Chain A
C-alpha cells in the first residue's frame, strides 16, 4: 500500500498546461521533495494533493483510497504555507486548535493535543500571543504546530522556509529533519532550493515544465542525473557539460571535441545501451568538484587546460578553464595558487562522469 499515489495526472489553467501526465508514488514514512524552478508546476501539484485545486485528468490516491473528489478537510492531510497563513485575529492557541474545533473533536482531546504539540515545538509559552507578536521562526513553528495537532497521514509543506533569513532557514531545516525522524510521518515538500531538497528528502522529484524529470534518491539525483536539465539544475556551480563526439578506436571509446586534440578515454561507464556509440554527439558531464589539482585516485585522468578566471569565495575558489573553446569550471580549496592564462595540469575523476545524448539530452 502506498501512502500517496498519483496516476496520469494532468492540469491546465485555460490553454496553459501546468502538469502533464504526472505519475508519482510515496511509501509510508518517506520524505518526498518536489524540486524545480518557479513555474514548473510543483506548487500546483501540492495544491492538488491537498484538494485545493481541481484535477483535469488522472487520480490521486491516499492509502489506496481515491480522493480526487474529496474535500481538503477529509483527506487526512495538513499543510504548512510559505506565508505561514496564521489567522491574524486569533492567538496561537486558537490558531492551533481551529481545525480540531471544526472537526468537532472533544474538549479533552483538543487540550491533550495542544499540550503535547506546543511542548514538543516549544511554543507553550506563546499560546496567548497573536501572530503579529511572534518572530518569523516562531510563526513557522506555530504553523507547523497547527499541522501537527491534526495528526495527519501526510504533511504538505509549500516552501515553508523561503520567508526566513539565511541563518534561521538552516536552523529550521534541521528542525524539520528532526521532526520527520521522530514522527516518521509521510511528507511532501515543495521547494526551489536544492540544498533544502538534498538535505531533507529521502526522495527528490525534479520537475520542469509540468513534467517530472527524475524521481530518485538524493544520491542518484546528484551522481546519475537522468538528463541535462537535472544535471544542470543540481549542484553549484552546476555540472560541466562539454559538447563533443564519441569515437571508437580499436575497441576503446574516446570522447573528443572537433578541432581539438584533447581526448578522454571512456572506460567502465555504465551505458544504458552500448550500440551505436561511434560518432555519437554527446555532452560529457563532469562536476566542478570532481576535477582535482593533483592526482588523488589511480584512475584520475590527467589533462592540461588553460586557466581563464578565478572567483574567490572564502573557503574555496571557482576556477574557469578553457576546454577547446568551451568553459569548464572546477572547485578548489582557496589555498591553492593557480596562475591565470597558463596551461595547468588537472585531473578528472572519470568514475564520476555522465554522458548525455546531444539530441535528446537524455542520459546514455
Chain B
C-alpha cells in the first residue's frame, strides 16, 4: 500500500516537473503586461486575454519593424511538407533496394549512408551554402527543402532498411514469379505494409525539420525564413519592452504542429518502433 502511494507520489512529481514549464508558458501568454509586471509567475490569469496570441500570429498592424509569425508559419509548412515527403519516399526506396535487391557492395553504400547520421550539422554548412549558390536556390524555401531532404535520407534509409530486412524476401520472389517488376513490388506489396515505419519516419522528420534553426538561419533570411528563425528574431530583436506574453504565445504557436503530429500518430510511433516482422 505504502509502496503504491510512494509510486504515485514519484510519478506525480515527475509529471509536474515536465508539465510546469508548459503551464507557465500558457498562463503567461494569457496575461496582460500589467499582470506580468506584478511578478507573480505562477498565478492564474485574470481573464482569457487572447490579445498576445493575436499579436504573435498577425502583428499589430503598423508597418516597419512589426514581426509576426503568420507568413513564416506558412514558409515552414511549405518547407516541411515536401521535405518530409521526399526524404521519406527516397528513404523507403533506398531501404527497399538495400534489402530486397542486394547488389555487390551494398553494405558499403549503407555504411556511407550511416555516416550521414553522424556528421554534425555544422560541418556541412559551408559546402551546402556553396551548393545552394551554384544551384541558384539559396535563401529560398526550395533550397531548404533540398537541404532537409538530403540531410534526412540517412535517417529515413536506416528506418526503412531495418524494417524491410524483417520482411521475408520470399514475398519479393513470389511477386517476381507472378510477374511484378521493381516498382510494382514496391508500391503493391511493400508500401501497403509499411504504415508503422512510415509513421515513425514522418514524426521523426517532421520534428527535425520543423524545429530546425541552424539550417533555417544559415540558408535563409528575411521573408524566406522558417518559423523558428522568425521566432528568434521576434523574441530577441524587440527594441522596446520585452513582451513576455507575446513571446510565450509565439513559442507555443511554433510548437503546436509537432504536438499535433505526435497526438495524431503517437500510438503508431511506439508500435512502429517496436514492431518488426510481418507475421503471415
Binding site for B on A (CB under 8 A): 47, 50-52, 71-73, 77-79, 81-89, 98-99, 102-103, 130-132, 134, 139, 146, 158
**In the complex, what distance in Å separates the CA atom of A51 from the CA atom of B280?**
24
Evaluate whether A83 and B173 lie within 8 angstroms (CB atoms) in the complex, with A88-B193, A103-B179 already known: no
B173 in contact with A50 (CB, 8 Å): yes
A83 in contact with B177 (CB, 8 Å): no
B174 in contact with A73 (CB, 8 Å): no
Binding site for A on B (CB under 8 A): 168, 170-171, 173-180, 184, 188-189, 192-193, 278-280
Q: Which residues of B contact A85 (CB under 8 A)?
A: 168, 170-171, 173-174
B177 in contact with A99 (CB, 8 Å): yes
B280 in contact with A73 (CB, 8 Å): no
**In the complex, what distance in Å separates the CA atom of A89 from the CA atom of B189?**
7
Q: Which residues of A contact B189 (CB under 8 A)?
A: 87, 89
A81 in contact with B170 (CB, 8 Å): yes
A98 in contact with B170 (CB, 8 Å): no
Q: Which residues of A contact B176 (CB under 8 A)?
A: 52, 71-73
Report the minimum CB–CB distance from B255 to chain A (whole Å).
35
User: B173, B179, B192: which contacts A102 (Cβ < 8 A)?
Assistant: B179
**In the complex, what distance in Å separates the CA atom of A103 from the CA atom of B280?**
25
Nearest 9 A/B pairs, CB to CB: A89-B192, A102-B179, A99-B178, A73-B179, A85-B170, A85-B174, A81-B170, A132-B280, A131-B280
**In the complex, what distance in Å separates the CA atom of A103 from the CA atom of B106?**
32
**In the complex, what distance in Å separates the CA atom of A51 from the CA atom of B279?**
26
Report the minimum CB–CB distance from A335 to chain B (whole Å).
46
B179 in contact with A79 (CB, 8 Å): no
Report the minimum CB–CB distance from B189 to chain A (whole Å).
5
**In the complex, what distance in Å separates the CA atom of A87 from the CA atom of B175?**
8
Q: Which residues of B contact A72 (CB under 8 A)?
A: 173, 176-177
From A156, which residue of chain B is reached at the shortest CB distance? B177
27 CB-based A-B contacts, threshold 8 Å: A47-B173, A72-B177, A73-B176, A73-B178, A73-B179, A79-B174, A81-B173, A81-B174, A83-B170, A85-B168, A85-B170, A85-B173, A86-B280, A87-B188, A88-B192, A88-B193, A89-B188, A89-B189, A89-B192, A89-B193, A98-B178, A99-B178, A102-B179, A102-B184, A131-B280, A132-B279, A146-B178
Q: Which residues of A contact B178 (CB under 8 A)?
A: 73, 98-99, 102, 146
**In the complex, what distance in Å separates the CA atom of A83 from the CA atom of B179?**
19
A50 in contact with B177 (CB, 8 Å): yes
Q: Which residues of B contact A89 (CB under 8 A)?
A: 188-189, 192-193
Report the minimum CB–CB distance from A45 to chain B (whole Å).
15
Interface contacts beyond A89-B188, A98-B180, A131-B280: sample of 13 additional A-B pairs, CB < 8 Å, sorted by A: A52-B177, A72-B176, A73-B179, A83-B168, A85-B168, A87-B174, A88-B171, A88-B193, A88-B280, A98-B175, A102-B184, A139-B280, A146-B174
Report the minimum CB–CB distance from B260 to chain A (whole Å).
28
**In the complex, what distance in Å separates the CA atom of A51 from the CA atom of B179?**
12
Q: Which residues of B contact A87 (CB under 8 A)?
A: 171, 174-175, 188-189
Interface-centre pick from B175, B178, B180 (highest chain A CB count, 10 A): B178
**In the complex, what distance in Å separates the CA atom of A98 from the CA atom of B188?**
10
**In the complex, what distance in Å separates the CA atom of A73 from the CA atom of B181?**
10
Interface-centre pick from B175, B177, B178, B180 (highest chain A CB count, 10 A): B177
Q: Which residues of A contact B170 (CB under 8 A)?
A: 81-83, 85, 158
Report the minimum CB–CB distance from A144 to chain B (whole Å).
12
Report the minimum CB–CB distance from A54 to chain B (whole Å).
12
**In the complex, what distance in Å separates the CA atom of A139 from the CA atom of B168?**
15
**In the complex, what distance in Å separates the CA atom of A87 from the CA atom of B171?**
7
**In the complex, what distance in Å separates the CA atom of A52 from the CA atom of B171?**
12
**In the complex, what distance in Å separates the CA atom of A84 from the CA atom of B280?**
8
Report the minimum CB–CB distance from A346 to chain B (whole Å).
49
